[in-house]
Amino acid sequence: MTRYEFIRGMAVGGSLLLTVPILFNSCSKEDDEPDPGPGNPGGGEGVVVDLADAKYAALAADGGFVYVGDIILIRVSATSYIALSKICTHQQCTVSYNSSTGRLPCPCHGSLFDSSGNVLNGPATSPLKKYSVTLANNKLTIK
């Protein structure tokens, strides 16, 4: 065996030893599970928002909105709230809320969504993800 063949064999073998564990780990089940952290209420308890907390003061008035992780939370009335993904389905920009029109525009490419998350104007073709919101004891639970 020549020196060149030995080095080439070591390089190929070493590459395989480093690559195989990465390939097996990339297919593990835990990567497929949603992160139940703030802004991703896929977990069992969901996300809880205490309306008494000053950082949610914008929700004191109808039409007010706040961002909670990857969620935009909108107050429709004293007892009604909407929770949608704040991430535009076109190129992942953050949507805002226009309370006078009840629409969620995306500032990047002009997509427009209604308050149910449905696409009104492209280039986005998929709706925003909608979450359920319940109000109890001045706290909102988003699931």
**Distance between CA 93 and CA 120 in Å, rounded?**
16
First and final C-alpha spacing in the chain: 64
Measure the CA–CA gap between 120 and 110, rounded to whole angstroms.
Answer: 10
Q: CA 123 to CA 110: how far, in whole Å?
A: 7
pLDDT in tens, 30-42: 443 334 444 455 5
- What DSSP element (H or E) covers 18? helix 3-26
The per-residue b/e assignment along 15-42, b for 16 or more CB within 10 angstroms, e otherwise, is eeeeeeeeeeeeeeeeeeeeeeeebbbe
- Chain centroid to Cα 67, Å, comes to 11
Q: Which CATH number fits domain 47-142: 2.60.40.1080, 3.30.420.40, 2.102.10.10, 3.40.50.10710?
A: 2.102.10.10
pTM summary value: 0.67
Which long-range CB contacts under 8 A does 8-11 form with residues at least 24 apart? Answer: none
Between 19 and 46, residue with greater pLDDT:
46
Top pLDDT among 52 and 11 is at 52
- 138 backbone φψ class: left, alpha, beta (φ>0; ψ -120 to 50): left
Nearest residue to 87 (alpha-carbon basis) of 101, 104, 63, 99: 104
Q: How confident is the model at residue 113 (pLDDT cuts 50, 70, 90)?
A: very high
At 47 the pLDDT is 86
Q: How far apart are CA 53 and CA 46, in angstroms?
A: 18
pLDDT of residue 79: 87
Q: Residue ranges of the domains in the chain? A: 3-32, 47-142
